[in-house]
Amino acid sequence: MSDDPAVSHCARTTLAVLAGGEGRRMGGPKGVLALDGRPILERLLDRLDWPGPTLLVTAPGREHPPGWRRFTNEVTDPVAGEGPLRGILTALENASTDEVVVLPLDMPNITPGPLVWLAARLRENPAAAAVMVEKPGHAPGRIEPLPAAFRTNTAQTLVRARLGDRQLALRQLTESSEVVVLPVSSDWPGDFWVNLNTPSDLGTYHRLASESGCD
């Protein structure tokens, strides 16, 4: 990463990767996938080269996926079956910094710039518990809940309350005035939002990577 002040601040921001999902549509946990000949988690860390602490969030029975040793720390959800909202709370409860950028492991085209941007927007909104974004190319109000930036202490309270009410959808967090929703920056890569949800998605990724000479 560069010497940009926004990037330097990320040395004090935890990068939390959610890797606890069952991967039902994929046919198995995504944490065991390989991309470009490497475990998906190793590839993700190499791609992002995050300057701050890195936190891997797994689920009971899915601990220690390939590449887990590359993270500063791995933590496991205390209960299973509560989806990414539980993973976010687990990350916030275990982060060593005041700010956390959370992302899923299944976005192969993710780049560090947008994550730095999210962290910077959180710092610009000191009263916010979190910053989420509206995905481009959709009607206004279409929230893409991850990646997102969270303020560790205040976001814990918000997320814990939602879990207690069994409101598990991440987009529902934006109903709170403590969550700031912003349009994404125009310089985010166009393929940033690609997700690997099914074997077909994975096959398409490998085919395109092979055609481009990256696989």
pLDDT in tens for each of the 215 residues of the chain? 556 777 777 999 999 999 988 888 998 899 999 998 999 999 999 999 999 999 999 999 999 999 999 999 999 999 988 999 999 999 999 999 999 999 999 999 999 999 999 999 999 999 999 999 997 665 555 788 999 999 999 999 999 999 999 999 999 999 999 999 999 988 898 889 999 999 999 988 888 777 776 55
Contact call for residues 43 and 27 (beta carbons, < 8 A): no
- Structure token pair of residue 94: 């275990």
For the chain, list the domains and their CATH numbers. Answer: 5-211 (3.90.550.10)
Give one DSSP letter per residue of 150-163, joined into a string.
Answer: EEHHHHHHHHHHHH
Query: Could you give phi then psi for residue 210, rounded to 5 degrees?
Result: -65, -40
Q: What pLDDT is attached to residue 208?
A: 78
- How far apart CA 102 and CA 50 sit, in angstroms, is 12
Q: Give me the pLDDT at residue 88, please.
A: 98
Say how far apart CA 55 and CA 78 lie, in whole Å: 16
Contact 51, 8 (CB under 8 A): yes
pLDDT of residue 23: 81
Question: Who contacts 211 (Cβ-Cβ below 8 Å, separation ≥6)?
Answer: none
Q: Which of 155, 175, 161, 22 is CA-nearest to residue 84?
A: 22
Distance CA 88, CA 148 (A): 10
pLDDT at 109: 93
